[in-house]
Amino acid sequence: MTQKNYTEQQRQIALFAKALGHPARVAILNFLAAQESCFFGDIHEVLPITKATVSQHLKELKNAGLIQGEIEAPKVRYCINRANWELARKIFATLFCECKTNTKCCE
Amino acid sequence: MTQKNYTEQQRQIALFAKALGHPARVAILNFLAAQESCFFGDIHEVLPITKATVSQHLKELKNAGLIQGEIEAPKVRYCINRANWELARKIFATLFCECKTNTKCCE
DNA sequence: TATACTGTTCGTATATTTGCGAACAATATA
DNA sequence: TATATTGTTCGCAAATATACGAACAGTATA
């Protein structure tokens, strides 16, 4: 089989999508997107999982570049990474508008 | 801990996102979205993985509702599920537009 | 300095994902 | 009827993901 690689765009979409691929992480993003920023505890409070697991999910979202956090001792403040959030918005919009026959999209 | 469940919307996003969470599946969707429909073999031809694995990825996309396939003996024709494609487009657009301070999005 | 508070990291168990070759099923063709 | 073509399914191995409690680290407070 010849070498058929995936494009950078495809890898980037997959990376963002993977981060969005768990309800807890979607809930975290919903929560963060609805406000300027908030503390870890506030996020933990609205989720049905332990703090260890919340911390893990936050780490993944951070690795994907969708959020960022900074220490504000003794708490940690989290917020959406606006630049990448916008990038993600565009990249997903592009993907879903690449449909040949759907007259309803891209309007 | 009280019961804090995820919303249906959050589960749906996670479901779609999970399906998009692998470059091969993104490539398949790119390929399918660019045309009316095509056969399994055409998809396999542009991917760097074996047919067994391609078949598996197609199954996942089908389970997520993003594509559909029908037998056209001895081949199998696949295409985007336009209704759910549009739903996905909307649901992702909504997610990414729920940002409080980003002036660039939702324009 | 001791204690409380806030999160992260570690270790572990379990489940899911990814990928492959081989076997299989169904139809088409020689 | 035998053989080729087209995909799917099976069985397996390796890698990742998910979740938890316990331990830990850092700062604030008594």
pLDDT digits (tens, 9 = 90+) for A55-87: 999 999 999 999 999 999 899 999 999 999 999
What tens digit of pLDDT does each residue of B51-102 get?
A: 999 999 999 999 999 999 999 989 999 999 999 999 999 999 999 986 655 4
Chain D positions with a protein C-beta closer than 7 Å:
4-11, 17-23, 26-28
Distance B44 CA to D5 C1' (A): 15
Query: How much is the pTM?
Result: 0.92
Cα–chain-centroid distance for residue A40? Answer: 16
Which residue approaches D21 most closely, CA to C1'?
A52
B94 touches chain A (CB under 8 A): no
- Contact between chains at B17 and A13 (C-beta distance less than 8 A): no
Distance B63 CA to D14 C1' (A): 25
Residue among B35, B92, B102 whose CB faces A100 most closely: B35
Strands B67-72 and A67-72: unpaired
Tally DSSP H helices, then E strands, for chain B.
5, 3
Cβ proximity of A24 and B11 under 8 Å: no
Cα–chain-centroid distance for residue B40? Answer: 16
Chain A interface, mutation test: which of B5, B18, B26, B68, most A Cβ atoms within 10 Å?
B26
User: What do you get for the CA distance between the two ends of chain A, in Å?
Assistant: 40
Percentage above 70 pLDDT, chain B? 88
* Tokens read off for B8: 């249906």
